Structure 1
């Protein structure tokens, strides 16, 4: 009897094993992986709209499903992935410190949720870096951003021109007839401006690598520029100026002989330092030029309040939560001029100082600096033009971090993790350890 029962269990398990094995094999296929990558990017940059339509439970269900599918895809393609030394130590330290903050947080369960949410998007970023090559990652971002921008501009036309009414639950104010600012399905003009600028970079790289037909690339670029203009985002305007300078510098480096690149890198570094000092000295005129004076006054009051609260736990912070839970102290006390609590620190560095203290801020700066240096050096000399994309996207994320906290959560965090992992694949010091040991 026992033997028959055991054989019955084995027979029951065999179909399940075959089904699971078939799923893993299918999920590792190229078409499924690319479709999954597009879905991941699409979801990560539209979470505000997903929550508006499905609520937090529905959004978390989508996130969990994507993580499971990404895991199955990685398991299916595990034999084709080089795992050794691929995850940057700086990222591991940053996420590890987020997790450790649970132990001293004064809102433990909110921190557990915030860390788990961040880890979910970090895992999706790792999947993009490991499961796809760089050209495929750029294509996934391009396809997803095209969908996001088409939907955003379509809804803005509906709201601002056809029905002349805001679509409140999506955060669309219906200002298109007045020339903006528009929000699309991103929730704010600054986030739409960020996505439009990311799209400009992505579509330009698609055009240069001939990943899509020329007409599609040109039409996509026009779409992104339209969204960028009507978003009227001061933070994005400054980022675009910096990106133009960075793009010119990268083009010069890529065209220069290899023997001269080190000298040119040093010259550009000096120019960046001097340019940053001049921009800071003339910040008032610069802010007036991009119509950001009012935004800065709001941010100055917010940052002053953050400094007061961060000083209470200046070394390790209050505990990581990502986007602020406005019903929990101390975030419930940080009130905007509208009378409602702020939802972020509107600056990644002030925000992480409040949540993870000076240690967390240092870890973020180190992770970002390492990722940027690795990406920039690779982009300067790699024959494939697609490697320009990670460097320029990190420039965009870094400049935007001064005025927004996007890099600490959701789609921008996922992108940062993906790029940092891609950069480590090319430049990580750990990748040379086996060769060194072999000698």
Structure 2
């Protein structure tokens, strides 16, 4: 029996959902692992390889049992060309073996995204993300709480807990540069970005779900706590951008074309003015956010990478996704205060480095068309659910200004889903009442909002 997601009520086996959750977990932990090292044979990597193999096999199985031909027909040509360029760059790559291994990983990401597109409806994808992100945030904060309790117990020598036990638990999963799990969980943009996506998801969940409101409210609060603890300036800017996009999309819905476009012009003017003000007064802005005016050495990193791009401006140095330690030209390229950096800290500069001007143009076309499609979906459909792909996509676009992950792993996974699934026909979407979202939410009885 074939699997189909032609309607929002299509039956999907529980085993497919299990593979879906496993796939998201593999992608999240892959983000964390690749941010620190590249394809090692440590226990954490071996566990990841095994889980990734199961997720990939399951994704392929369910994809080809679904309406895979329809999905192939919906793939934008620029996405196909971009993926082909990643593989083709092996012909001129400065590191051909790493290009091949990186492309195989990217092919796995593509397969996983195609599986989600073919098998699940938008609501099912939304629920998969909501529950996974909730688990990530709860686990991260729970681990931090455990460490805090153990630290207090060690200081007071309670129940035999001493400093050695505390440090042994804290050092679980220590990476080669000396950082520990709690350093990676909350104190960087990695968790901040997932928390922001969680905040978006949980707010929409609160608007569309009639049950389990208390769990959603708790999730919203914990997502905010995680964003604050991450201390990431990039996430602050992404939050502002997402808020503006959400507000404009809600105000524009149901309006005539001229009114919508007037709102859009105002929004772009506000965004441009705000960006100019931040640029001019960046020292004051970043000091207020507790960051250095050069955005934690990013301006130096960007200059170094741009110099490298200028050596191969058209074709690039070859696809590698994340930089591979010990490989030229990345090895020793950026060393700050004795720490070696292995990313351009800008997704758009990163793709220019790896795939040249050709790859950058294809990538920008893909992002532009996907933004337009998700915007139209979010504005023209009355269901609040369809704001979710738009707002998550905006999050990734803004995050790409200060991080290089938009081209690989979970971010690329989301880009592919949004780029292809936004072409789903009307009959595959939830019922469109044509009533604007703001009007529908205002008229919704409070008894229903409170009912579990």
**TM-score (norm: length of structure 2):** 0.80
How many Å apart are 1:407 and its aligned residue?
0.9
Residue matched to 1:342? 341
Relative to structure 1, is the Cα distance of residues 413 and 257 closer, same or farther in structure 2, using a 3 angstrom cutoff? same
Question: When you count helix as a share of all residues, which structure comes out higher?
Answer: 1
Query: Is the 8 Å Cα contact of residues 348 and 405 (structure 1) preserved in structure 2?
Result: yes
Number of residue equivalences: 396
Query: Is the 8 Å Cα contact of residues 128 and 418 (structure 1) preserved in structure 2?
Result: yes
Secondary structure of 1:169 counterpart: coil
Matched, 1:134 2:122: yes
Secondary structure of 1:293 counterpart: coil
Deviations 1:340-377 (A, max 9, x none): 42121111112112111122122221111111111112
Matched, 1:144 2:132: yes
Secondary structure of 1:332 counterpart: coil
Query: Is the 8 Å Cα contact of residues 71 and 114 (structure 2) preserved in structure 1?
Result: no
Residue matched to 2:18? 35
How many Å apart are 1:58 and its aligned residue?
3.8
| Separation in structure 2 between the aligned mates of residue 368 and residue 40 of structure 1, nearest angstrom | 23
Q: Which runs of 5+ in 2 are unaligned?
A: 5-10, 152-165, 427-452
Secondary structure of 1:401 counterpart: helix
Give the counterpart of 1:105 among 56, 79, 93. 93
Secondary structure of 1:143 counterpart: helix
Deviations 1:49-85 (A, max 9, x none): 6989734444233223212111111222238x73363
| Separation in structure 2 between the aligned mates of residue 61 and residue 350 of structure 1, nearest angstrom | 33
| Separation in structure 2 between the aligned mates of residue 175 and residue 99 of structure 1, nearest angstrom | 34
| Separation in structure 2 between the aligned mates of residue 421 and residue 270 of structure 1, nearest angstrom | 30
Secondary structure of 2:173 counterpart: helix
Give the counterpart of 1:45 among 22, 28, 46. 28
Q: Which runs of 5+ in 1 are unaligned?
A: 1-20, 177-181, 428-439
Matched, 1:59 2:48: yes
| Separation in structure 2 between the aligned mates of residue 257 and residue 313 of structure 1, nearest angstrom | 47
Relative to structure 1, is the Cα distance of residues 392 and 340 closer, same or farther in structure 2, using a 3 angstrom cutoff? same
| Separation in structure 1 between the aligned mates of residue 33 and residue 317 of structure 2, nearest angstrom | 29
Matched, 1:78 2:62: no
Residue matched to 1:69? 58
How many Å apart are 1:23 and its aligned residue?
12
Give the counterpart of 1:122 among 94, 97, 110. 110
Residue matched to 1:183? 184
| Separation in structure 2 between the aligned mates of residue 263 and residue 294 of structure 1, nearest angstrom | 34
Q: Aligned-residue CA RMSD in angstroms?
A: 2.8
Residue matched to 2:264? 265
Deviations 1:98-150 (A, max 9, x none): 11111100211100011111121122122212211111111000111111111
Residue matched to 1:364? 363
Deviations 1:249-303 (A, max 9, x none): 1221236457733443344344434443344333333322222326625112211
Give the counterpart of 2:79 among 69, 79, 91. 91
Deviations 1:231-265 (A, max 9, x none): 11111111112222222112212364577334433
Give the counterpart of 1:169 among 168, 173, 192. 173
**Map of 1:198-277 to 2, 5 A cutoff?**
198-210=197-209, 213-254=212-253, 256=255, 260-277=259-276
Relative to structure 1, is the Cα distance of residues 131 and 200 closer, same or farther in structure 2, using a 3 angstrom cutoff? same
| Separation in structure 1 between the aligned mates of residue 173 and residue 140 of structure 2, nearest angstrom | 14
Relative to structure 1, is the Cα distance of residues 309 and 212 closer, same or farther in structure 2, using a 3 angstrom cutoff? farther
